[in-house]
Amino acid sequence: MANFSGTIEDREEIRDLYARYADTLDNHRYNEWLDLFTDDGSFESTRFGKHEGRAGLEKFTRVYRDSLGGAQARHVITNLLFTIDGDAADASCYLLYSHCKEGRVQQSTVANYRDKLRRVDGRWRYQSRKVCMDGRA
């Protein structure tokens, strides 16, 4: 018996979910980003507060986009760790966030995510994401 939870396929899909989260957000493909959450999904951060449900998350994307002021954001995701239990999973990862403008990194943050995932309509999605900042560089 394998020393990890869930199937290899589940694990591959969840890994993919994490890369897609950053890819869609950093490239302003907000509709695709919204589809990575469950209908009642939530996102919470120290800086932006808590946003829930499709309408709440959609509003967050507008606030977030404005906050960038034209900078290129990069959500560098590492240290993904998760435990799958049927159609639910607890997960965490590390985040190195940077904010680039005019060829310079203007902001750099170390943080971590605590997530709850749920499989809905055959796809793993975020039910809740909470990002906690450790510090700014």
- Mapped onto helix, strand or coil, the DSSP state of residue 62 is helix
Binding residue for a copy of itself, selected from 19, 55, 63, 88, defined by CB under 8 A: 19
User: CA neighbours within 13 Å on the CB side: how many for 130?
Assistant: 5
CA-to-CA separations, 98 to 79, 105, 109, 124, in angstroms, rounded: 17, 6, 6, 27
Q: Is the Cβ of residue 52 or residue 109 nearer to a copy of itself in the bound state?
A: 109
Q: How far is the CB of 1 from a copy of itself (least distance, A)?
A: 8
Q: Is the Cβ of residue 8 or residue 85 nearer to a copy of itself in the bound state?
A: 8
Q: Is the Cβ of residue 22 or residue 34 nearer to a copy of itself in the bound state?
A: 22
* DSSP of 25-39: HHTT-HHHHHTTEEE
- Answer yes or no: are the C-beta atoms of 133 and 47 closer than 8 Å: yes
Question: What's the chain's length in residues?
Answer: 137
Interaction between residue 79 and a copy of itself (CB under 8 A): yes
CA dist 105 and 137 (Å) reads 10
Interaction between residue 45 and a copy of itself (CB under 8 A): no
Q: Is the Cβ of residue 75 or residue 129 nearer to a copy of itself in the bound state?
A: 75
Binding site for a copy of itself (CB under 8 A): 2-4, 8-9, 11-13, 16, 19-20, 22-23, 72, 74-81, 92, 94, 96, 98, 100-106, 108, 110, 112, 122-124, 133-137
